[in-house]
Amino acid sequence: MRNKVIIAVVLLISVACRKQQRFVQEKNINGFALRLQYMPDKDSGLLCFRLNIHNNDGTSMKNSDHFKFNYGLDSLFAFVNVADTLLPVDVIRVANGNISGIEYMLLFNRPHVFSQVNCQLIFKDWLFTNQLMTFPLIDLFNQPI
């Protein structure tokens, strides 16, 4: 009986992990690894994303406590849907204690109507890679947001 319970728990965890993986998109640019993850939340009127940024080689990010990594971040991100552009409600740097990278929580108002095929998240990155990056959101999830 105990073995059946353990097997059931392992199966549930593996299904949950697999489901979570389809909400992740990764990019490697100029020595940085960026990982965008959609955080589904149907109860609120917000779209939530998590963005992890770290060095490709795993070394710690120097001077990441500088104020430029914490303030004015809302001007760096946008949620684009065909011709409509939404700026974030808030961009929060997550204090996770990880010295090898930086993590941000991105919050956008959930649009009432949108074209799922043409949705993308824009990151005007002048902090790390000095590039304009787009994350096509159709790759992140296969269900309506």
Domain boundaries, the chain: 24-139
Give, in degrees to the nearest 5, the angle at Cα 6 between 3 and 10. Answer: 140
Q: What are the residue ranges in the chain where pLDDT is below 50?
A: 5, 8-12, 14-15, 17-21, 141, 144-145
Rg value, the chain, Cα: 17
Look up residue 111 and give its DSSP letter: P
* pTM score, whole prediction: 0.75
Q: Which CATH number fits domain 24-139: 3.40.50, 3.30.70, 2.60.40, 1.20.1730?
A: 2.60.40
How far apart, in whole angstroms, are the C-alpha atoms of residue 118 and residue 116?
6
The pLDDT assigned to 19 comes to 47
Q: How many CB atoms neighbour CB 80 within 10 A?
A: 16
CA 131/CA 145 separation, integer angstroms: 27
In the chain, DSSP finds a helix count (H) and a strand count (E) of 1, 9
Give the bridge partners for 101, in sequence order: 54
Would you call 90 helix, strand, or coil by DSSP?
Answer: strand
The pLDDT assigned to 78 comes to 94
| Rounded distance between C-alpha atoms, residue 21 and residue 38, angstroms | 10
Residue 134 · residue 122 · CB < 8 Å: yes
